[in-house]
């Protein structure tokens, strides 16, 4: 594995200033609306599709604390992105709840406002292992919603997938704690990997149907260099939908927002129409149904590098500018230039690439480093 954390392009302040207007667009006319912030590169799970134990073992060298952006640095950069149009911020990892005193960062981000005075949609993705003890304090700090990764209800399957023998009951307890704390509409993400957990599709749907929790099925993706991705292990969303439809009629729903990654389907009632009381499911299909065309997301790594795509192989180093005394105007110009130069659309062109280009993942950054 090539350590991509040290490889980045410098974030350059252009000669002509780019003042924030909230209307920033990339080379394909896509606006900047969604910022995903990785607050740590550490995780207490060893899921094979993200941080396999063979690579991330006891000798793996994580980033030193001095390399991580401080909460104040994260908040300052977030304000710059918000000025350019960001309205939604998602905290990720690794496992973000491993970052000490994360509630302080949430308080700082919750105080930010968009140009029209609106608060941010502030969310967090977690494996749920620490959610029982953290849910109430996260809500009190200003977090709006959580998304929990859960790849099956069968305890043996779940322990096998997280590869640290963590019980599924503790994650379910964490989800219950998040609901009790009032953390908005909770979403549960299930990565479906053929030969591993596809038989958990129906049990998961049965469990969450009518619960007020949105279950989303994610195609196993070729992110990073370490997860051993193979196309024959991908269960296409169309196949998952077909499995569900055999038992639970579903009807298509409109996207909840422009650039939304998940295709929404609602459980149908006896009249064949969506029954809101039964809820909905989502499908994230970056392998078989690319959504690059309206992707409005940018990712900030835990050490201050900007990545323009989940499948990126190189970032832009904002930390060097930040710690070098750059003004907010300079930071805004640098971010503006980075986004204006964006042309990423890997999922759209994956099928057109020669096999060696698709599998040369050694150049791609790890999901655990920039978040899912």
- Measured CA to CA, the distance from residue 48 to residue 55 in angstroms comes to 10
pLDDT digits (tens, 9 = 90+) for 250-302: 999 998 877 678 899 999 999 999 999 999 999 998 888 767 888 999 999 99
What local confidence, expressed as pLDDT, does residue 274 receive?
Answer: 98
Dihedral sign computed on CA atoms, order 180, 256, 293, 74: negative
Per-residue tokens: 64: 């030193």
- pLDDT at position 1 is 40
Q: Which long-range contacts (CB under 8 A, 24 or more apart) does 237-245 make?
A: 237/263, 237/283, 237/284, 237/285, 237/288, 237/289, 238/288, 240/192, 240/201, 240/283, 241/265, 241/283, 243/201, 243/202, 244/201, 244/202, 244/205, 244/281
Backbone phi, psi, residue 310, to 5°: -60, -25
Tokens of 298: 């940018």
Buried b / exposed e over 32-43, threshold 16 CB at 10 Å, is bbbbbbbbbbbb
If phi > 0 it is left, if psi is from -120 to 50 it is alpha, else beta; for residue 332 that is alpha
Report, in angstroms and rounded to the nearest whole number, the Rg of the chain calculated over CA atoms: 20
Query: Where does residue 325 rank: exposed (0-12), middle (13-18), buried (19+ CB within 10 A)?
Result: exposed
Name residue 148's beta-bridge partners: 126, 188
Instruction: In whole angstroms, give the CA distance from residue 63 to residue 185.
Output: 33
Segments in the chain below pLDDT 50: 1-2, 4, 226, 358-362
pLDDT of residue 312: 80
Q: How many beta carbons lie within 10 A of that of residue 156, not counting itself?
A: 9
DSSP-assigned beta bridge partners for residue 297: 34
CA 171 to chain centre: 18
What value, to the nearest 5°, has the Cα angle with vertex 92 and ends 155 and 170?
A: 25
CA-CA-CA-CA torsion for 187, 159, 172, 205, nearest 10 degrees? 50
Q: For residue 281, what are its two tokens? A: 């499911």
pLDDT of residue 362: 45
> pLDDT for 320-358, tens place per residue?
999 999 999 999 999 999 999 999 876 666 656 665 554
This prediction has a pTM of: 0.91
* Domain ranges, ordered by start, for the chain: 4-370
- Pick 4-370's CATH classification: 3.30.830.10, 3.40.50.300, 3.20.20.70, 2.40.128.110: 3.20.20.70
Q: What per-residue confidence (pLDDT) applies to 356? A: 53
Judge whether 209 and 278 are in contact, CB under 8 Å: yes
Q: DSSP letters along 282-343, please?
A: EEE-TTTS--GGG--EEEE-TTSEEESSTT-S-EEEHHHHHHTT--HHHHHHHHHHHHHT--
């Amino acid at each position: 594995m090539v350590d991509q954390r040290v490889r980045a392009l410098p974030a350059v302040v252009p000669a002509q200033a780019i003042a924030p207007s909230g209307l920033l667009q990339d080379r394909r006319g896509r606006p900047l609306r969604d910022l995903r912030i990785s607050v740590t590169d550490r995780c207490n799970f060893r899921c094979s599709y993200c941080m396999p134990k063979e690579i991330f073992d006891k000798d793996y060298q994580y980033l030193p604390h001095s390399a991580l952006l401080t909460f104040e640095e994260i908040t300052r950069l977030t304000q710059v992105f918000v000025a350019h149009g960001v309205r939604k911020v998602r905290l990720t990892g690794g496992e973000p709840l491993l970052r000490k005193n994360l509630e302080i960062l949430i308080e700082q981000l919750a105080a930010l406002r968009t140009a029209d005075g609106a608060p941010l949609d502030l969310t967090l993705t977690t494996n749920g292992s620490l959610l029982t003890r953290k849910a109430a304090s996260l809500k009190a700090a200003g977090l709006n919603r959580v998304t929990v990764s859960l790849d099956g209800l069968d305890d043996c399957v779940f322990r096998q997938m997280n590869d640290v023998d963590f019980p599924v009951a503790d994650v379910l307890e964490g989800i219950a704690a998040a609901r009790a704390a009032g953390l908005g509409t909770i979403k549960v993400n299930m990565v479906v990997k053929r030969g591993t957990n596809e038989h958990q599709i129906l049990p998961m749907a049965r469990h969450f149907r009518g619960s007020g929790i949105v279950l989303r099925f994610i195609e196993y993706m070729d992110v990073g260099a370490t997860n051993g991705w193979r196309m024959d292990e991908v269960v296409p969303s169309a196949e998952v939908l077909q499995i569900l439809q055999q038992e639970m009629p579903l009807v298509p729903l409109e996207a909840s927002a422009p650039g939304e990654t998940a295709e929404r389907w609602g459980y149908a009632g006896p009249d064949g129409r969506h029954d809101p009381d039964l809820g909905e499911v989502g499908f994230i299909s970056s392998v078989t149904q690319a959504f690059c065309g309206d992707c409005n997301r940018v990712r900030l790594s835990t050490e201050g590098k900007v990545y323009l795509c989940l499948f990126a192989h190189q970032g832009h180093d904002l930390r060097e500018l930040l710690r070098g005394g750059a003004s907010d105007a300079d930071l805004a110009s640098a971010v503006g230039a980075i986004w204006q130069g964006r042309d990423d659309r890997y999922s759209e062109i994956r099928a057109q690439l020669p096999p060696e280009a698709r599998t040369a993942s050694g150049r791609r950054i790890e999901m655990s480093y920039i978040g899912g």
